[in-house]
Structure 1
Amino acid sequence: MDAATRTLDLSVLPPEYRVAFEAQATRVAELETINRRLEHLVAELNHVVHGRKSEKLDEDDRQLAFEDLEIAVAETRERKQAQAPGEDRPARKNVAQRNRGNLPEGLERIERVIEPDSLECPCGCGLMHKIGEDRSERLDIVPAQLRVIVTIRPKYACRACTDGVTQAPAPPWLVEGGLPTEGAIAQVLVSKYADHLPLYRQSQILARSGIDIHRSTLADWVGVAAFHLAPVVDRLAEHLKTSTKLFMDETTAPVLDPGRGRTKTGYLWALARDDRAWGGDDPPGVVYFYAPGRHGEHAENFLTGFDGILQVDGYQGYNRLTRPTRKGGSPITVAHCWAHARRKLREVFDRDGSEIAAEGLRRIAEIYAIEKDIRGTSPGQRLSARQARSAPLVAAFGTWLQVQRLRVSAKSRLGEKLAYINAHWQGLQTFLSDGRVEIDSNNVENLVRPIALNRKNALFAGHDEGGKAWGRIASLIETCKINGVEPFAWLKATLTAIANGHPQSRIDDLLPWNFKPSR
């Protein structure tokens, strides 16, 4: 049957059939358009996840891409359902089930009972009785509720004498004579340093609720809090430096340079402890130290009092820590990062498909496969497995590395990457002699990511002192997060305790991992 025969002549149909046919054809065309859009969006999602490394977005941009693409997919799917005839409309089983039923028991429940219009039995038997019920829960969100705490202190005097007036003392406030409660200050800190909302945006949000508080006033609150929280951060740093193994990394923190009317590059150095991979007893924590530069002497100063193993990337500024002339302690043992070594080879492979780089990546993948097998076991078990299984692979990699360096020009792109790995070869083998050491420094890199997010949103710190406050508050918030402590609850309780004169001798009680939230 040819196409002409298959073409339907609508003119021979009765008018009512012709209208119905045209409506159905229009609906089919709309659904086909929607399907093509869904296919296009799915292809874009696949590209974000599985695209070439050189075309992939960084972690933060990828999350934004996911959000917008998933919004578009949901919108298109909803449009497709709306286009379907009522009787053919599918049940909404394709709605994502993520987080369904995962509503904490502590949330307030407001029950709304929906009764039938009539309880009379249709057959006239009288009133029906209840045999059960169906319950469903949905999450409702009420915008932030602002309230005013009014403190009233009655005065009392004796009618028979004039010996004096009795009145309860005023409760202590963190900001003496100021507007905010400790909870309000905690909310500003969490919004700025955990949710990455600059103060001027917070001021705009408050204005929508009729509260006119200038950015500079919010900045004053943050400054007061940063001052009072400084001893807690100092104690946190002391606690970390008693460890035998730490991570360290650094990231840029742009700071306004008023004299030149532009920004200069400051740095936040992250010092972290995370022994969860081998079941260590010490809780995880991180402290961000601000410095106006990246010179190795800053790391040397920050690490005064620490003697142990330091897991770092390949930055040469850390080399001074390994020398006998190191200030502030004995020479440090450095554990270098295999993820950085792998990254160097990946850069070459993604650019020109180098077979040598591919072979190096394959060899490193074998070492990582062993790490995956032993993750979560004790340091002794990790060490035994590494000596038995990983050490031969690392030795073979070292031999392969030297052979390839003789074959490849030192000035080539691949030659430079191989030279980088060779320069850090001793540190790359540290994990073979200590089961507590990780194969890479990804733990601390993950803790640097929130700084990058705040940097994107706030653009820069207004002063070197602002950079210090940034690092101080971020230290406490991120330490809360990696210990499973809700930052707002901890900050509110800690600021309240400080306002009430918490003794310095019990400062360890204020460390995030010692926090016990009240019901």
Structure 2
Amino acid sequence: MKKDEIIELLKEQISGLRADNDRLLLQVEALTQEIASLNEALLQKGESLSKQQRIAKGLAKLMSNSSEKQNAAQTPLSEEEQKRKEEEKAAKRKARKNNGARRDMHYDMEEVVHDVYPDDPDFNREKARLFSATPRICIRYECVPMRFKKHVYRIYTYTQDGWLFEGKTPPSAFLNSSYDGSFIAGLMELRYIQSLPIERIVRYFEDHGFTLNKPTAHKLTERASVQLENIYRCIRQTVLEDFYKAADETYYKILVPEKNSKGKGVRKGYLWVVVGMNTRMVYLLYEDGSRSEKVILDELGGCRGIIQSDGYSPYRKLEGKDYPNITRIPCLQHIKRKFLDCGEKDKDARRVVDLINRLYHHDHKHKVGTDGWTVEMNLAYRQKYAPEILADLKDLLDEIEERGDLLPKSELQEAITYLRNEWNAVLDIFKYGDTFLDNNQVERLNRYISISRRNSLFFGSHKGAERGAILYTIALTCRMHKVNMFEYLTDMINRTADWQPNTPLEKYRELLPDIWKKANE
């Protein structure tokens, strides 16, 4: 088509659009008038209804011999009643949720600013005048999946005045490796914090543009555990030196050459978990998956101070004369759970639970380090409330057993026997002002192992479980100190890449999560 023909065609289209526009404007005007008439009718109806309501209200006042003057003469609310009504209103507002809540603006995030201008074809920014000096703000949050960057270093070599000058090769996490510490840290985070098995991590990497085969992923994990072994040893040393420790054990399935009774080459392997309650360090020990008392007694037997645990026999041996420097205290939650297992209908068990709950009720009234509450104040408070409750608890146990109607193998008898065996250790809890009533801190950490166990099912060997103990030690310690594990491992792997294996552990102490600072800080 020629230029003139195109112009005529566009003019006809514009004319048609204008006609459509005029027709729509007429429809809008007609609808506006109709809405106005409906609104007027509704107002009239509302006035009529309001009038009827006023009449009914007046009649009600006449029938009750009340008047506006009498109402005005009523006694005003007291200050206490007014305060109570305001508190009730506040409680109702709170129950509605999101009352007065503000959106989290995420000021610490990476921010990209976009200027958005009108895109209408008739808009000319040079001719237009700014309507408001402050633009309207609109926010959208973008998710950028895991990204991989390939850094290519061109290393040049020069000769000058008979000398050879060569660019320095950037450090590598491992000898003859192309992987930076951040790559290995990302792999470790997915494996030991997000609890993904290696197979899923490999697929996840591939979905985001990086092909990593499974043997390489396993090899990187293995080499990382070797490099981080001294940090692991330093955490172990710090935990064992802590005056107050808590201990427990959990299991993981291990693939082994020997077949079990079901013809499968798998067995339970136990991880011992020890937490330094003062330093908030976490140490995991794996020794061929053994739950033998020798493992934990050899590890904790030379320690000093308090060790808190459940009533498993190896821990209870730490109360004996062979370990004079150790005081073992129990977990009241384990004791309480024994009585809860007796069921709601067992009134005797419920009475024991109520007394244990009274101990918790008093202990939760104060927290050491909050509002000036000291360890000494907490100890004095415990010595005030605990003896009476513990005496009532002991009297209750005597009463139940002396009645003679308790079956020897009943759940209640087993619970009472468990508590009797732990009684002296229970008393020891209240001889200190900074001990916990239970072992819940370790129980919470064990959940991370449980999640990983459900996701990845097993360790491929005892060696794999040992690596797991090293990396879980570091991961859980980072979590205890609210340290970003990815940033921590990236820094540790890069910073210690050229450290010798015989580097003193004292040097690693400065890198542990409780006092760690990034290399560039």
Q: TM-score, normalised by structure 1?
A: 0.73
SS of aligned partner of 1:267: strand
Q: After superposition, where does 1:434-445 map in structure 2 within 5 Å?
A: 434-445=432-443
Match of 1:448 in 2: 446
- Structure 1 position 223 matched with structure 2 position 222: yes
Cα distance in structure 2, aligned partners of 1:117 and 1:171:
48
SS of aligned partner of 2:173: coil
Match of 1:334 in 2: 328
Write out per-residue CA displacement over residues 121-145 of structure 1, whole angstroms, 9 at most, x where no aligned residue: 9xxx973442433334332111111
**Structure showing greater relative contact order (alpha-carbon pairs closer than 8 Å, 6 or more residues apart):** 2
CA separation of 1:191/1:367 partners in 2, compared to 1, >3 Å: closer, same or farther? same
SS of aligned partner of 1:140: coil
> 451, 461, 464: which one pairs with 2:462?
464
Cα distance in structure 2, aligned partners of 1:118 and 1:170:
54
SS of aligned partner of 1:176: coil
Shift of residue 116 of structure 1? 4.5
Match of 2:33 in 1: none
Match of 2:475 in 1: 477
Match of 1:368 in 2: 360
Shift of residue 169 of structure 1? 4.1
> 414, 424, 427: which one pairs with 2:425?
427
Higher mean displacement: 384-393 or 134-143: 134-143
Q: Which amino acid in 2 is paired with 1:241?
A: L
SS of aligned partner of 1:349: coil
SS of aligned partner of 2:365: helix
Match of 1:25 in 2: none
| Residues 147 and 208 in structure 2, CA contact (< 8 A), matched pair in contact too | no
Structure 1: state its 5+ residue gaps. Answer: 1-93, 276-282
Structure 2: state its 5+ residue gaps. Answer: 1-95
Match of 2:273 in 1: 270
Percent of aligned pairs with the same amino acid? 22
- Structure 1 position 406 matched with structure 2 position 414: no
Match of 1:134 in 2: 136
Cα distance in structure 1, aligned partners of 2:206 and 2:121:
50
Cα distance in structure 2, aligned partners of 1:113 and 1:105:
19
Shift of residue 449 of structure 1? 1.1
| Residues 308 and 331 in structure 2, CA contact (< 8 A), matched pair in contact too | yes
Shift of residue 96 of structure 1? 7.8
- Structure 1 position 514 matched with structure 2 position 515: yes
SS of aligned partner of 1:236: helix
Write out per-residue CA displacement over residues 286-312 of structure 1, whole angstroms, 9 at most, x where no aligned residue: 111113221221111222541111010
Q: Which amino acid in 2 is paired with 1:175?
A: F
Q: RMSD across aligned C-alpha pairs, in angstroms?
A: 2.6
Q: TM-score, normalised by structure 2?
A: 0.73
Cα distance in structure 2, aligned partners of 1:264 and 1:100:
52
Q: Which amino acid in 2 is paired with 1:273?
A: G
Match of 2:45 in 1: none
| Residues 275 and 282 in structure 2, CA contact (< 8 A), matched pair in contact too | yes
| Residues 184 and 221 in structure 2, CA contact (< 8 A), matched pair in contact too | yes
CA separation of 1:382/1:95 partners in 2, compared to 1, >3 Å: closer, same or farther? closer
> 387, 393, 416: which one pairs with 1:397?
393
| Residues 296 and 317 in structure 1, CA contact (< 8 A), matched pair in contact too | yes
CA separation of 1:201/1:127 partners in 2, compared to 1, >3 Å: closer, same or farther? same
Shift of residue 452 of structure 1? 0.8
Cα distance in structure 1, aligned partners of 2:153 and 2:97:
49
| Residues 481 and 514 in structure 2, CA contact (< 8 A), matched pair in contact too | yes
Query: Which of these two proteins has the greater Rg computed from alpha carbons?
Result: 2
| Residues 120 and 127 in structure 1, CA contact (< 8 A), matched pair in contact too | no
Give the length in aligned residue pairs. 408
- Structure 1 position 347 matched with structure 2 position 341: yes
CA separation of 1:482/1:103 partners in 2, compared to 1, >3 Å: closer, same or farther? farther
Cα distance in structure 1, aligned partners of 2:489 and 2:419:
43
CA separation of 1:108/1:470 partners in 2, compared to 1, >3 Å: closer, same or farther? same
| Residues 378 and 433 in structure 2, CA contact (< 8 A), matched pair in contact too | yes
